Structure 1
């Protein structure tokens, strides 16, 4: 168990370094400003979107690495669903390489969301052992009267795994409902300077902050939508130009109420996180 947790924590560190900034991790102190108001008496609206994540890093030896991936986000009162959007043909490719995928996990291109994997993750799949891939599973975060819960869903295996609070970080969840619900919480905008010029659409505005931390010198920018109560763009660019991260939100059609993803899980097998600890 200890070996698995150490490995998962390393993956989580990679995820935190590579993921597009949600605003909370590197925002230094700045003059406080009023947070943008939420519509409808403070209740944020439903949200259906695709999140495009883009990052670029230049290593000390001059190698440029770029990462791009997409996630589907469904937000309702008390629910946030995030799932990776696979590229076209990915399922066929995965099926064709199923016998080799154990050895390729560490070389996957998309940044990890953290991944609790058993210590015996390389065990022969034909022996009946299969680890749960938290990186590619959908994440369902719930808020029931202030009680936060998180579960991961593997649609291919029709399995739902509930994760206890003590293991949130191991699976890549920071435990914050606001971070999950808003992407960049309105409270974080208080630490950024609102630009005098409005954003490109009515009800939007750019917020900006210069970061002076020793290992994160650069600029954070957030394009906030008052109507959506969510950022349309979150980006960071290092002062030396060697690193950049960007998240772009694009609205998508809303599913029918009875087609919401967390309402499709009645027939799924439910397991506990401990079931995957070897």
Structure 2
């Protein structure tokens, strides 16, 4: 299923050298699922995103007291892959195809995923979905419900789903992105919010 190699981890693994500025954001995700018993289960977590033209790096924000399980010799042991502990490195290869590696910083290990692995883990290989958090092409098909103060509200609804997106209008040299999203289905609610976003200049991403 996977090929594992050891490597040195600096800021994050990059496939190609880029001179473009690095974008950094903190993403808050909230989901609510209503069970058959009528009980609503809420899940809330944060991710850090680092992005340039050809790379997107996502990592879960874990509590400071979070620790790996250890064996009798006080060495870290992993009985299974925990996605919450892995960083996701999306990048475009030389053919502009989307590739995904999982990175375990503590183990200094990279896992190269194939398409079948990505689907099995419930992840995505949609570049625009990851790069802009929401597929920008899908936004163009949605109805504009409100505009002002540099933002545009989009909405789409059918018998099963309702989607609301607050989209930011940025400068010409920047990429558009949603500042908040709201998804609703018959039994679930998802909310995504960009709490902080900034651009870091002067950081050159070094090829492995």
* TM-score of the aligned structures, taking structure 2 as reference length: 0.74
Distance 1:136 1:259, change over 3 A: farther
| Match 1:251 to one of 180, 188, 196 | 196
CA RMSD of aligned residues (A): 2.9
Contact 2:101–2:111 (Cα < 8 Å) also in 1: yes
Residues 1:187 and 2:130 are matched in the alignment: no
Alignment partner, residue 96 of structure 2: 146
Give the whole-Å Cα distance in 2 for the aligned partners of 1:162 and 1:76: 20
Distance 1:172 1:60, change over 3 A: closer
Distance 1:129 1:194, change over 3 A: closer
Distance 1:60 1:235, change over 3 A: same
Residues 1:226 and 2:169 are matched in the alignment: yes
Unaligned runs of at least 5 residues, structure 2:
2-19
Deviation at 1:129?
7.0
Structure that is richer in strand per residue = 2
3-state SS of paired residue (2:158): strand
Deviation at 1:185?
1.8
1:69-218 to structure 2, matched below 5 A, reads 69-90=45-66, 94-95=67-68, 97-98=69-70, 130-144=79-93, 145-195=95-145, 197-199=146-148, 201-202=149-150, 204-212=151-159, 217-218=160-161
Count of aligned pairs: 182
Deviation at 1:76?
0.3
* TM-score of the aligned structures, taking structure 1 as reference length: 0.57
Structure that is richer in helix per residue = 1
Contact 1:211–1:220 (Cα < 8 Å) also in 2: no
3-state SS of paired residue (1:167): helix
Give the whole-Å Cα distance in 1 for the aligned partners of 2:80 and 2:34: 33
Unaligned runs of at least 5 residues, structure 1:
2-43, 100-124, 267-278
Which string of whole-angstrom CA distances, capped at 9 and with x for unpartnered residues, describes residues 102-137 of structure 1?
A: xxxxxxxxxxxxxxxxxxxxxxx98x7754434420
Alignment partner, residue 9 of structure 2: none
Deviation at 1:219?
1.9
| Match 1:237 to one of 162, 179, 184 | 184
